[in-house]
């Protein structure tokens, strides 16, 4: 399921809206027009005014055509966005050619399209745009019209200065491109991982709600089943002496099946009722029961799972939390997968703290996992190492991130390390709660009134 979620969250998540490109280009065109008009009429520089505005008009025409042709909500493909940014680079190069090439201080604007590409497009598109920008900058360093200057003179900057500007463009393109891509990619990965976590939480919440639905269905079905039983017994009483063997057999089968259904509904109803101590079987569990529920599916996998419990006072009791159960099960799955022969679960509690430690005798956590613990898409698991290649999150590096996120939402602290005792090896995961936090939701649910939902008894009147 996690693979499917990962695929559905990623294809169009990075595609930008056309409206974003159009607005950015209008902003750039406004700045270009202001610079040309200010230099020509404000400073009195001798510019090729008509040619400059022809280049600016080309971008205006493209913007108008895109606005007319496509709706504002249209999202561009990677190729389309790269082409539009390439056009912006070429258009800027045309303006710089007319106004001094790299001697023009606005030549550093070559970085802008590359920066936009790095935040929104795949690395190969950004690399292509960066090479285009550097290539055009190289051409402008060699071929360009003179830098516009006042009418009574002409300025020609030394080639060493132009080389410095070219180097600045080259290094700026490389650095800002890589930096912006890395920051944007980490943001996208975190967003996808959080979305996947929400999907897992929703699934676990739906599962935890099945007990309530089962109890409600049992109460709702109890009344019609009681009516059917009353009718069946009334028919048996009336037709018993004169009924044929076939009818008598059918009536007996009907009573048996009704009794069977009532037994099943009784079991479903009891799942949601309170015990004598006032604790719900499905909602409240002790620490020992929680551990046993985690360990039970692992018993038949060939790895010994030992449990050790020790503490001061009464054993802690907690509210059943699907997120915590899922997170702890994920950590235990990893421990069993990588263990050589044995996994040890230690539960310790005191008046202040509740601690759950999971150790294995496997190779331990790699250094890169410990350094980036809790970040999404950090994994050393390969598909062939996992017991079940189709399990949620297998190989994606989301398992540890989801487990850490879900467990820490319950108020716990999670520590990952490798065992350092002499002669010991393997991974160690320690989860610690303040005891009042661990037990804060361990309250008995309100008793459900059954009087209005009880099935009809044999003495109740039922219309036939």
Q: What is the pLDDT of residues 305-361, one digit of tens each?
A: 889 998 888 888 888 787 788 888 888 888 888 888 889 999 999 989 999 999 988
Please give the average per-residue pLDDT across 241-252, as a whole number.
79
What pLDDT score does 248 carry? Answer: 80
Judged against a pLDDT cut of 50, whether residue 274 lies above it is answered with no
CA angle centred on 342, ends 308 and 334, rounded to 5°: 95
Dist. CA 271–CA 351, nearest whole Å = 31
What percent of the chain is predicted at pLDDT more than 90?
8
Q: Which residue has the higher pLDDT, 278 or 46?
A: 46
- Report residue 393: phi and psi, to 5°: 80, 0
The two structure tokens encoding residue 393? 């999150």
Judged against a pLDDT cut of 80, whether residue 91 lies above it is answered with yes
- Highest-confidence segment of 18-22, 88-92, 258-262, 320-324: 88-92
The two structure tokens encoding residue 315? 């054993």
The two structure tokens encoding residue 275? 């015990």
What pLDDT score does 54 carry? Answer: 92
Q: Where are the alpha helices (DSSP H) in 121-244?
A: 123-142, 159-208, 210-239
With residue 30 as reference, give the H or E element that holds it: helix 18-37
Task: Find residue 376's DSSP bridge partners.
Answer: none
What pLDDT score does 449 carry? Answer: 38
- pTM, whole model, 2 decimals? 0.48
Q: Which residue has the higher pLDDT, 244 or 170?
A: 170
Give the pLDDT band of residue 1 (cuts 50, 70, 90): very low
The per-residue pLDDT of the chain, averaged, comes to 76
Judged against a pLDDT cut of 90, whether residue 61 lies above it is answered with yes
The order of strands in the sheet holding 427-434 is: 304-311, 342-349, 353-360, 427-434, 413-418
- Report residue 381: phi and psi, to 5°: -80, 130
What pLDDT score does 431 carry? Answer: 92
Q: Which of 91-105, 147-161, 197-211, 428-442 has the weakest average pLDDT?
A: 197-211
Task: Find residue 347's DSSP bridge partners.
Answer: 309, 356
Residues 6+ apart with CB under 8 A from 176: 111, 114, 115, 118
Q: Which of 99-113, 219-233, 285-299, 345-359 has the weakest average pLDDT?
A: 219-233
């Amino acid at each position: 399921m996690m693979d499917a979620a990962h695929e559905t969250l990623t294809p169009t998540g990075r595609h930008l809206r056309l409206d974003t490109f159009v607005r950015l280009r209008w902003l750039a065109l406004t700045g270009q027009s202001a610079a040309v008009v200010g230099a020509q009429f404000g400073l009195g520089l001798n510019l090729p005014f008509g040619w400059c505005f022809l280049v600016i008009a080309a971008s205006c025409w493209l913007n108008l055509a895109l606005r007319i042709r496509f709706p504002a909500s249209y999202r561009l493909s990677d190729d389309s966005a790269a082409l539009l940014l390439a056009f912006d680079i070429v258009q800027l190069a045309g303006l710089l050619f007319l106004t001094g090439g790299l001697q023009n201080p606005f030549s550093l604007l070559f970085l802008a399209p590359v920066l936009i590409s790095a935040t929104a497009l795949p690395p190969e598109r950004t690399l292509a745009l960066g090479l285009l920008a550097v290539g055009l900058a190289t051409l402008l360093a060699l071929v360009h019209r003179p830098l516009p200057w006042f009418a009574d003179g002409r300025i020609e900057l030394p080639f060493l200065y132009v080389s410095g500007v070219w180097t600045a463009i080259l290094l700026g393109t490389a650095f800002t491109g890589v930096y912006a891509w890395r920051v944007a990619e980490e943001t996208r990965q975190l967003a996808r991982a959080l979305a996947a976590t929400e999907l897992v939480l929703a699934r676990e919440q739906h599962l935890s709600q099945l007990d309530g639905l089962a109890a409600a269905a049992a109460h709702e079905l109890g009344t019609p089943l009681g009516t059917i039983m009353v009718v069946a017994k009334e028919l048996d009483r009336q037709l018993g002496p004169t009924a044929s063997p076939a009818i008598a057999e059918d009536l007996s089968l009907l009573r048996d099946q009704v009794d069977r259904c009532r037994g099943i509904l009784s079991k479903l109803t009891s799942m949601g009722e309170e015990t004598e101590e006032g604790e719900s079987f499905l909602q409240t569990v002790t620490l020992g029961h929680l551990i046993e529920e985690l360990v039970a599916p692992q018993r038949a996998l060939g790895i010994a799972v030992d449990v050790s419990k020790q503490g001061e006072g009464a054993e802690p009791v907690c509210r059943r939390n699907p997120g915590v159960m899922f997170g702890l099960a994920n950590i235990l799955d990893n421990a069993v997968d990588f263990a050589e022969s044995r996994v040890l679960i230690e539960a310790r509690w005191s008046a202040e703290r509740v601690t759950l430690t999971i150790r294995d005798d496997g190779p331990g956590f790699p250094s890169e996992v410990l350094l980036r613990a809790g970040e999404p898409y950090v994994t050393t698991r390969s598909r062939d190492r996992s017991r079940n290649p189709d399990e949620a999150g297998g190989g994606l590096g989301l398992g540890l991130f989801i487990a850490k996120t879900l467990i820490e939402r319950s108020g716990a602290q999670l520590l990952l390390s490798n065992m350092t005792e002499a002669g010991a090896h393997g991974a160690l995961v320690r989860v610690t709660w303040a005891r009042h936090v661990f037990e804060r939701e361990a309250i008995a649910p309100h008793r459900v009134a059954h009087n209005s939902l009880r099935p009809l008894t044999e003495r109740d009147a039922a219309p036939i």
